Amino acid sequence: MAIKESFRCEVITWRQVWRLSRRLALLINSSGFIPDTIVAIGRGGYVPARILADYLGVMDLTGVKVEHYLKGADKQPEARLKYPLPAGLTGRRVLIVDDVSDTGDSFAVAIDHIQSSGAAMIRTAVLHHKTVSRYRPDYFGQEVKRWRWIIYPWAVMEDLTGFLARMEPAPRDPETAAARLRQEYGLRIPRETLEDVFRFGLGDQSTVF
């Protein structure tokens, strides 16, 4: 999916993350699939994978790092495996978890790697499945039919920093940033969050908030 210069976004809350993760746990449980190992696709899959491990009672939790988006919505040409599994998964039932299936490329890379690691059975799960994705996960908490960029609580600083850094002219204060984000991305961001973006994400702007 090509990322446009301006597009609609949705901010997901921690409570929504928990609800979607619980829904996933119920779907997996009712399907009869019992994973021996949960593999998170980093970085987005780390939090939902840990919640699912807790719900499903899976103690064997690990992760792989698949890079597709360099920072925020800035995308590189193809997904690639950066940090593989440290050990094999011979004979194990594996649940692969990510936050969203957007293009499906991250899953393609992760599944190929985990199959080569000897897994006996593989299932996949995401919080959000976008119907434009080339890959349809086995389990998803919510289906997204109208494409939008989804901002998870663990990526707020990264995504907002990326949006603001691309703006011409660049906003110099939280008030201007709030107006531009509302106009261009349909986002209503609390002032405190934008102050943090200027302080940590964009560096010291020599402004006292």
Average the pLDDT over 18-31 and give the result: 98
pLDDT one-digit tens code per residue, 126-172: 999 999 999 999 999 999 999 999 999 999 999 999 999 999 999 99
DSSP 8-class letter at 4: P
Find tokens 């961001």 and name the residue: 189
Q: Distance between CA 73 and CA 85 in Å, rounded? A: 26
Rounded to the nearest integer, the mean pLDDT of the chain is: 90
Using only the alpha carbons of the chain, give its radius of gyration. Answer: 18
Q: Distance between CA 135 and CA 133 in Å, rounded? A: 5
In contact, 126 and 101? CB cutoff 8 Å: yes
Class of the domain covering 11-151:
alpha beta
Distance from the Cα of residue 71 to its chain's centroid: 12
pLDDT of residue 112: 95
pLDDT one-digit tens code per residue, 53-100: 999 999 999 999 998 755 555 555 578 888 889 788 999 999 999 999
Distance from the Cα of residue 64 to its chain's centroid: 14
